[in-house]
Amino acid sequence: MKNALITGGSSGLGYELVKILNSEYNFTNISRTECDIAKKNIILDLSNSKKLDKLLEKMDYVYDLVILNAGVLHWKKLGNFSNKEIADDFNVNIISQIKILNTLIKKLEKKQSTIILVGSVASFYPIHENGSVYISTKSGVRSLIDSLIKDHPGIRTIGVHPRGFTSELHKKSGMKRKNKNRPSSKNIAEKIIDILKNSNDNTNIILD
């Protein structure tokens, strides 16, 4: 079997991705809680930059697929954040992605691996109130995807930016949504897998 690395694979969209691909890949999951169907779990809060750095110093495995999915969301206006909340959002949503890829990129190029990065439609259309920090982090993800496609053509890069879908992340954030008829995490996972299996192109797209 092929080997895959995922962040945030213990719940929500990440868990649905592991569930669908589990028969094809041996998954290593990095998250705060265990994924019961992953072959290996590394319990780590990605907001803890020092602990992530120590993990990456020892990470020398080669993966066929890397899915950078972990996310955190504090939905507030500027002036109401703690410095820790701001740091956590950036560390989890974009800095951890850059650090992981910086560590693995040369081996991923050699193996011609695939990277999937999960962004947000908010980086294209920042129309929601109270999203200043979250949208800033996701705009970073979008730019990172563009840079990967340009700088590392030997790697297949799939950037996906879902519109709103049902997840615990949004519920915990306190974000209020008018439209309750939203796709599930499973629906979004299935669309991502369809791109993975049926297209060989690099992509940086909105998922409707």
Kindly state the greatest CA–CA separation across the chain. Answer: 49
Hey, what are 90's tokens? Answer: 């950036």
Cα separation, 62 vs 70, in Å, equals 20
Q: What is the pLDDT of residue 173?
A: 47
Residue 75 sits in a domain whose CATH number is 3.40.50.720
pLDDT in tens, 33-89: 999 999 999 999 999 999 999 999 999 899 999 999 999 999 899 999 999 999 999
pLDDT in tens, 168-203: 555 554 555 555 667 899 999 999 999 999 988 999
Question: Is the full-model pTM beyond 0.85?
Answer: yes
Its domain, for residue 154, covers: 2-207
- Give the sheet arrangement for strand 65-68, strand by strand: 40-43, 25-31, 2-7, 65-68, 114-118, 156-162, 203-207
**Cα separations (Å) of 51 from 44, 46, 93?**
8, 8, 16
What is the count of structural domains for the chain? 1
Percent of the chain at pLDDT > 70 equals 92
pLDDT in tens, 79-116: 999 999 999 999 999 999 999 999 999 999 999 999 99
